[in-house]
Structure 1
């Protein structure tokens, strides 16, 4: 069953017209909506000026584009840079919060949301990079599919920096493959924080951004699903970002993702088994919950028990199947045509290394589960260092 459903999800990518950057109708300037771009920034002096300059170089009517940068208690030169840029760019709105305002990134986004007047909200990270025509093509995709929200495929700018960045590049491509497959099979897909577009009315109807979670994107994705609101997945153009470059940063980032990913099931688990969503969506959520969260815990327990009893692990076939499915998605994701930055070229050795790289989740998930069981919930914005290189 695990292999069968996983292969169905991956195979749905073989014919995905709207997954490519081809649209039957390109939206005209007069039909483009008013767009508010939100960027929550804390200590982003390395990248914030580059971000603002590139955002104002995007192809979009200036009278329909507003950019809100939330300086969330920065202690570096970010406030000074933003003050200078606000005098240079008329449509740049700088919103400031104190360091102890609370709510993390979600709190910063909610605070800025009160000042927005547009029909759509695009959330970006401070290190985000977009192609000049990204917004036009994004709304052409929205128009064609009547999507209330869309997630751009995430890609890595520093893919050739080292082994970890190369693996993260392939991991993001793999994630997009699974995302589109799940959307095609049963209508389940998720936001990824950076490069997420959502209609403002849809966001407000779901209660805005949850300030009691460390992963606002995953939390919002589940609330959108419960309200039967679809999330489109767009392969090209991608949103580009920096991958973390060392193991400590990777593990810190993944702990946050794991904690937020698990927390949403605790918060909304009782609603997932009501009539709010259909059987196929329930099956998909259960399937990927087992693969992403339950399997690492079971596998570690199984390994420890087998060592203690000097016996073979019992559940290794399930883990092996999960790694094989990931390998297939890695292979297919890296073989797809993609716009810059170019994906890692596929070869057996790199696929093997990338699958091995995924084993870090078998350490992170059990550790986070134990930590969440023992320690009280604490919301901290553990920001990722952006170098601007």
Structure 2
């Protein structure tokens, strides 16, 4: 219905006022939106370039000996290719054994995931395994909620099945819960298989931008980073008060981010709490992953924009930034419209000459490019990896198509359920690939 209203409004405007003025006004509105996001990207890039490196190299972990009880939860569904590396990393986490619970959920796997987990549990009593029956439902949220019901720790820490945290990551994350206003904490994820394919290289650089620049900027300028869903900790009392993870969303992390914020608590971001994960290596897997992210993020915009705007404890700037965050998976849709207007103007339709497209074109690319470049610099990635920025041209076009398709499907009410990301079992030896050499301290 909403999509039909948009179409009818556009058709009516074109009929009443003609193509040139309507498309001209539309292009002007897009330029305004892109200008806002350009300055936002630029502000994040400047913040990261100026302040991120000292935080990245922070040596202290828990100078006051703050050690709340922690339950580490991992949901696994058909993860036989990566589960051994993940469990091995969990067992090397630097934390007192009497304050730590390691619980991995076999979410109805039909490969050897369950057998591998049971073998690890037999060898090391610190690991507990929870088996869910096939078809239990709820996706990752359902699996994590079942695990949450069995633990009584003060803090819950989440990793995905392909993640391998540094030994100090847990201590670095939980230290932020000294502050009673903090409901959740996110650490930094680094891609470990950046050389496996050109797509993996693109995702590696994308994560440098997202974690070294974008989230750091949101933390430094607004104290509004997101809860990222993995390598993330959440206060158990906060999580239970909010009803656990939402099984009706396919992006439980964004959903929880907004619910924590609306509840009046804060999220913190710790650059030095690092873990390594596997990037998708093909365009098809990139589509599957980013389509899910787009559908979930766009639904969160529809569900939470009004509650955020009504939240009395948030200031005007915080509300504006939160809405801009919620709109981030709508911007590529607008980019697609901008590209369509570009094509129309090239044929003399739209009221302004092609030279009028220059601000639009610049704003489409320069802001994100600044973030990507700063990510490479702060991450101390080898110079030849800068050529990987060229890979963002096809990735950008693909993202426009993915998010536009997700928006259309969402507006048409097409059903969609959680779909896991396929793995390749990439090597966990981070130092073996020079592309990631600058990412680890």
TM-score under structure 2 length normalisation: 0.80
Residue 383 (structure 1) aligns with: 421
Deviation at 1:28, TM superposition (A): 6.0
Deviation at 1:295, TM superposition (A): 3.1
| Pair 1:308–1:280, CA change in 2 (3 A) | closer
Residue 104 (structure 2) aligns with: 69
Deviation at 1:157, TM superposition (A): 0.6
Give the number of the structure whose residues are more often helix, by fraction.
2
- 3-state SS in 1 of match to 2:165: coil
Deviation at 1:124, TM superposition (A): 0.4
- 3-state SS in 1 of match to 2:279: coil
Deviation at 1:175, TM superposition (A): 0.8
Whether the aligned pair in 2 keeps the contact of 1:151 and 1:192 (CA below 8 Å) is: yes
d(CA) in 2 for partners of 1:80 and 1:136?
Answer: 30
Residue 71 (structure 2) aligns with: 36
Deviation at 1:229, TM superposition (A): 1.8
- 1:175-220 Cα offsets, whole Å, 9 max, x none, are 1211121222222211222201111112122221000000100111
| Pair 1:329–1:66, CA change in 2 (3 A) | same
- 3-state SS in 2 of match to 1:364: helix
- 3-state SS in 1 of match to 2:422: coil
Work out which of the residue numbers 322, 331, 338 in structure 2 matches 1:285. 322
Deviation at 1:120, TM superposition (A): 0.7
Residue 272 (structure 1) aligns with: 308
d(CA) in 2 for partners of 1:178 and 1:143?
Answer: 25
Report matched runs for 1:194-205 at 5 Å: 194-205=230-241
| Pair 1:187–1:228, CA change in 2 (3 A) | farther
Whether the aligned pair in 1 keeps the contact of 2:186 and 2:270 (CA below 8 Å) is: yes
- 1:78-117 Cα offsets, whole Å, 9 max, x none, are 1111222222221211111112111111000001100011
- 3-state SS in 2 of match to 1:224: helix
Residue 151 (structure 2) aligns with: 116
TM-score under structure 1 length normalisation: 0.90
Deviation at 1:323, TM superposition (A): 1.7
Residue 297 (structure 2) aligns with: 261
- 1:221-243 Cα offsets, whole Å, 9 max, x none, are 11112123221112223111000
Name structure 1 gaps, 5 residues minimum: none
Deviation at 1:66, TM superposition (A): 0.8
d(CA) in 2 for partners of 1:295 and 1:321?
Answer: 12
Deviation at 1:17, TM superposition (A): 7.5
Work out which of the residue numbers 396, 407, 428 in structure 2 matches 1:358. 396
d(CA) in 2 for partners of 1:25 and 1:295?
Answer: 38
> Is 1:59 the counterpart of 2:94 in the alignment?
yes
| Pair 1:207–1:17, CA change in 2 (3 A) | farther
d(CA) in 1 for partners of 2:394 and 2:232?
Answer: 29
- 1:295-321 Cα offsets, whole Å, 9 max, x none, are 322332343355457234976634531
Residue 324 (structure 1) aligns with: 366
| Pair 1:131–1:295, CA change in 2 (3 A) | closer
d(CA) in 2 for partners of 1:256 and 1:19?
Answer: 32
- 1:133-169 Cα offsets, whole Å, 9 max, x none, are 2223333455489743211111101012221111111
Whether the aligned pair in 2 keeps the contact of 1:119 and 1:200 (CA below 8 Å) is: yes
d(CA) in 2 for partners of 1:326 and 1:60?
Answer: 38
d(CA) in 1 for partners of 2:270 and 2:410?
Answer: 34
d(CA) in 2 for partners of 1:105 and 1:271?
Answer: 25
| Pair 1:355–1:284, CA change in 2 (3 A) | farther
d(CA) in 2 for partners of 1:254 and 1:25?
Answer: 34
Q: What is the RMSD computed on CA atoms of the aligned residues?
A: 2.5
Work out which of the residue numbers 86, 94, 103 in structure 1 matches 2:138. 103
Name structure 2 gaps, 5 residues minimum: 1-34, 349-353, 428-441
Moved more, 108-117 or 313-322: 313-322
Residue 138 (structure 1) aligns with: 173
d(CA) in 2 for partners of 1:62 and 1:386?
Answer: 32
d(CA) in 1 for partners of 2:362 and 2:394?
Answer: 11
From the CA coordinates, give the structure whose radius of gyration is larger: 2
Count, aligned residues:
383
Deviation at 1:288, TM superposition (A): 4.0
Residue 299 (structure 1) aligns with: 335
